[in-house]
Amino acid sequence: MADEPLVLGIETSCDETGIGIVRGHTLLANTIASSMEEHARFGGVVPEVASRAHLEAMTPTIEAALAGAGVKFSDIDAIAVTAGPGLAGALLVGVAAAKAYSLGLGVPLYGVNHLAAHVAVDQLEHGPLPRPCIALLVSGGHSSLLLVPDVAEEVISLGSTVDDAAGEAFDKVARVLGLPFPGGPYIDKAAVSGNGTAIAFPRGKIDDGTFDFSFSGLKTAVARWVEAREASGESIHVPDVAASFQEAVVDVLTRKALQACKRYDVHDLLIGGGVAANSRLRALAQERCDKAGVRLRVPRPGLCTDNGAMVATLGSDLVAAGVAPSSLEIPADSSLPITTVHV
């Protein structure tokens, strides 16, 4: 609707410069400049490389988003930016740019939480969020279970990773198997022709009574299994290893998510973050949700990975809720807790 706020969102928490423009919950532009190729030769994201890439990409990416949305700077009603969590240097680039645009355009600034934005973005595809819902966020840096009464006002942490996040484990196992970085898509592809029950890899913390996650032991188990086979001269069927590892990860993620739904009597589960693009996670989550009578919401893959649209959407929710804008003094907080939706 024309009377809804036009919000520009800036996302620079890791290696992708994401600029999104929304009007209310209508997506007008979602433009991304990724520095992934620059990190691939290092086997992981290099913070300084990411920060410099954001500096170079910021202006042209914003200009491309404005052109794609068919709007001008003068049309923007508010600026939203990821204030944390994420890589400190990368966050600083986005926050500094957002402050400059806010001041220059004379529009309010909203510093938002990266994880809460991953929850909010689903509204662009599936409409308003159920209140409450359970959110499972899985990415390279985070594996979190959240109770979300209202994404613009209150997000409650139920559990998180105690060591490696799911996406991080995918990257490390991919390296062991000789697959490229980032590992998630390549393991997903390899697993299609593999047997997920071929190898009994461990399920960390699966029935420990908490909603925390641990994937470090699983990652190590895969590495030791591969090392043992290599030492004995046995062949390694990469698809079976990939499928068995992937099955262990998604088994834990979906089981704990459904346990949370049952404990809190919530009938809607949302899955977000980069690992939510994994085909097996989506399939097993749907299967288990159907059996449990839980409605599943998962954004399309392009909205699961880091993007500016999710930041703009949460910013739009904050504007609509009448939340006071952020100060131009807000910091970039690399360890911003999920309970802080708006800085």
Binding-site residue ranges for substrate:
137-141, 171, 184, 188, 278
Q: Smallest Cα–Cα separation from 123: which of 140, 148, 106, 99? A: 148
C-alpha 118/C-alpha 271 separation (Å) is 9
Q: Is 145 helix (H, G, I), strand (E, B) or coil?
A: strand
Q: What would you measure as the largest C-alpha separation in the chain, in angstroms?
A: 68
For 142: left if phi > 0, alpha if psi spans -120 to 50, otherwise beta; the answer is beta
Amino acid at 194: G
Residues making up the annotated binding site are: 114, 118, 137-141, 171, 184, 188, 278, 306
Query: 22 phi and psi, to 5 degrees?
Result: -130, 150
Q: Is 40 helix (H, G, I), strand (E, B) or coil?
A: helix
Amino acid at 46: V
Beta bridge partners of 148: 133
Residues making up the annotated binding site for Fe cation are: 114, 118, 306
Please work out, in degrees rounded to the nearest 5, the angle formed at the alpha carbon of residue 244 by the alpha carbons of 210 and 122: 60
Pairing relationship of beta strands 133-138 and 143-150 according to DSSP bridges: antiparallel
Residues 6 or more apart whose Cβ sits within 8 Å of residue 37: none
